[in-house]
Structure 1
Amino acid sequence: MWLAGFKWMFLIIGTIIGAGYASGRELWEFFGSESGLAIVLFAILFFICCNVLMTISYEQKSGHYLPVLRELMGRRLTGLYDGMIILYLFSVTVIMIAGGGATLEVLHIPYWYGVLIISGLLVMLFIWGISGMTSMNAVIIPVLIVFLVGTLITFQWTTGFEITFNLEAQHNWPTAFTFTALNILPLVAVLAAVGSKIRHPGEIWIASGGSALIMGIISFLYNESLLVVAHEVMLYEIPLFAILKHYPYFMVLVMSGLLWAAIYTTAASGMLGLCTRLREYMGLPYWLISLILALAMVPLTTIGFSTLISILYPLYGVLNLYILAAILLYPILNKFDEAPLR
């Protein structure tokens, strides 16, 4: 039970710690000063969401997200969200493939070679199906966490651990809801895909509790570190490099490699959601579906996605808040439904 719980925990963390999070960009955009309470609330909301989604997936024995969506949203809205999730997963995976190609240019690997490398690794991963995905996360995510936390603690050590938590100055707490909502769709897609693999309810508590605790600690430590270099963050596309500027160049290379790993895990999570959903219609093995998807995605990496993102992301923000509300209310409404009439 414990081993399986940790396996799902790393799957959850791998879904959330993408390039945006690992680079510090998402945290800086959402949190910043007066955000200690917001990060604590985020950890609590994150725990509830993971727990509810995994519980529904376990009860439904789901192999993809459609049964979970139907349980949460009802039949009328399921069709709308199904289409939106497919579009979301596809567009995010394309962006991650493009980002993976661009990141490898730091090592003087041509962009197209980088795109083909990350695409090929995604297809290879799904030769082993879902077990390949969970095994990959169980290896990469602990390394990513250790290096990221180690870097942040070392930075705090050199600056005298200037961490403060003034409960009276916590006006940014509503951000917890929008930041949690940002990550809801990939969580729905990935956690629903493993419902049939969960064997014991204890795995759900280990995975949801462990991932919420780790994400909360990393988010708080990362945000406090960025506040120390707040006057320099705007000069960097990747805020993490503002923290690393006094480190040896070797550390910059190591963290660049870990950012690429974060891009890869995010792309793999998106591909997993798509493969499990499309397998119902295509009836093909996961690796073949991922190959077809990769062949469709690679040409699209040449398109500028800034316009697409500027249209889609605000829409996803509204839809995500709605599904976040549905998840948070689900245990309460479900309790009322199960209560006997008197």
Structure 2
Amino acid sequence: METKQHHANKWIINCIRYAGMYVGAIIGAGYASGQETLQFFVSYGYIGIVGTIIAVVLFAWYGTMFMELGHKLHTNSHKEVFTYLCGPKVGAVFDWILVFFLFGVLSIMIAGGGASLNQYFGINLMFGRVIIAVLTVGTVILGFNSALNALGFLSPLIIIATLAISIGTISTNLSGISQAGANMQGLTIAKATPFWWSSAFIYISYCVLPAVPALASIGNGEKDEKLIRKSGILGGSLLGVAILFMVLATLSRIVDVSAMEVPFLEVARQMSPVIGGIFAFILLFAVYTTSVPILYGFSVRFAEDGTTKFKILTLVAGCVAFVAGLVPFSKLVGTVYPLLGYLGLVIMAVGFYKTVIKRPGKKEQANDTTIVNC
């Protein structure tokens, strides 16, 4: 009986840990800062709330799909995943395109971390970016797998803090939500895409795509496919629900935060300067938990983890991303993410066909690459 109880406890702990890894790979600078939610959901007003509900479902499915493919294909790399989904030729094209965009997303993490330190603590932008870049490169070089386990338990705390600040803001400012529609008429807020519904799909697409190596690693390292699926659904649902509350909280303070580089940090500060300070550190953790898997995903694509080549490549990639991160944070979010999102829509469509419509049977071989001709 004790053995069964021990097994059940271990299963639950692993489920939370894997879900946390999923959350950590996604909840980076743009997400936790509120800059993504501002451009992809809040900018459309009340209809953007419907977009966040769509996001809950898509997060739960899309991330889980890549975790299961990592398990099925026994891989940590996005290259094998894309080859499986789109075939060797088209998969290779997407492989190289994602490699390019990984630099862009890593640059956003570095720029976002610097912007957060500057906005709340007044730390020089350049110095803040250096801090994020050094921590990221150092972690990947010294041991990604150990860090990934630690990040799995840290990430739920980020979600809890984000939800707590959102709910606290909403509960004390319900009138702000009801007045948001009128207040937004005098504001100019950049929209990520022309339509609210396309923003929801683009948002999930670009959020999950750079995290494919980390998600595949989770699936590859776990034998229990049911555990992988439950973890993916839990992690994705947490991300979606957190976005919903962040959108509502941002709408309630839209006049005060619409022009901020890090809008949700201002939401937290308006609750209390102390809470704002705490969230500033939480935001840095969010940047860190995302930038590390992204840099790892790039390096492991070209070199084996732990080798000298891997370490040199990681260092060079970190330096290049740092230079690219000198572009203003909000501009990077509004440029890189939508482009990556449109790419991801193709992968999303093919993945839906392959894993939902086609529903491969148990006898299908993992190396089957005869998919839809995307």
| 1:1-342 mapped onto 2 (5 Å cutoff) | 1-32=11-42, 33-105=46-118, 106-127=120-141, 129-160=143-174, 172-280=196-304, 283-284=307-308, 287-302=311-326, 313-335=337-359
Contact 1:182 1:320 in 2 (8 A): yes
SS at match of 2:352: helix
Length, aligned pairs only = 334
Q: Distance in 2 between matches of 1:250 and 1:257?
A: 11
SS in 2 for 1:335: coil
- Cα separation, partners in 2 of 1:252 and 1:107, compared to 1, 3 Å: same
Change (3 A) 1:37 1:59: same
Change (3 A) 1:238 1:95: closer
TM-score (norm 1): 0.84
Q: 1:159 to 1:302 in 2, by over 3 A?
A: closer
In the superposition, the TM-score normalised over structure 2's length comes to 0.77
Aligned partner of 2:168: which letter? T
The residue type paired with residue 137 of structure 1 is L
Amino acid in structure 1 at the alignment position of 2:232: S
Whichever residue aligns with residue 281 of structure 2, its letter is G
Distance 1:116 1:159, change over 3 A: closer
Q: Structure 1 stretches of 5 or more lacking a match?
A: 165-170
Percent identical pairs in the alignment equals 24
Deviations along 1:86-123, one digit per CA (max 9) or x if unpaired, are 11112221332243344334535444443333233223
In structure 1, the residue corresponding to 2:17 is in which secondary structure?
helix
Q: Which amino acid aligns with 1:5?
A: C
Cα deviation 1:43-96 (Å, max 9, x = unaligned): 112222122211111011102111111111111211211111111112221332
Instruction: Give, in whole Å, the separation in 1 of the partners of 2:346 and 2:284.
Output: 32
Structure 2: unaligned runs, 5 residues or longer: 1-10, 179-194, 365-374
Deviation of 1:245 after TM superposition, in Å, equals 4.9
* Separation (CA, whole Å) in 2 of partners of 1:280 and 1:333: 35
AA aligned to 2:60 is: F
Cα RMSD after superposing both structures: 3.2
User: In 2, distance between residues paired with 1:172 and 1:299?
Assistant: 32
CA contact (8 A) 1:193 1:276 kept: no
| Letter of the structure 1 residue corresponding to residue 129 of structure 2 | V
Measured in 2, the distance between the counterparts of 1:336 and 1:251 equals 49
- Tell me the distance in 2 between the aligned counterparts of 1:276 and 1:54: 17
CA distance in 1, matches of 2:145, 2:347: 28
CA distance in 1, matches of 2:92, 2:116: 36
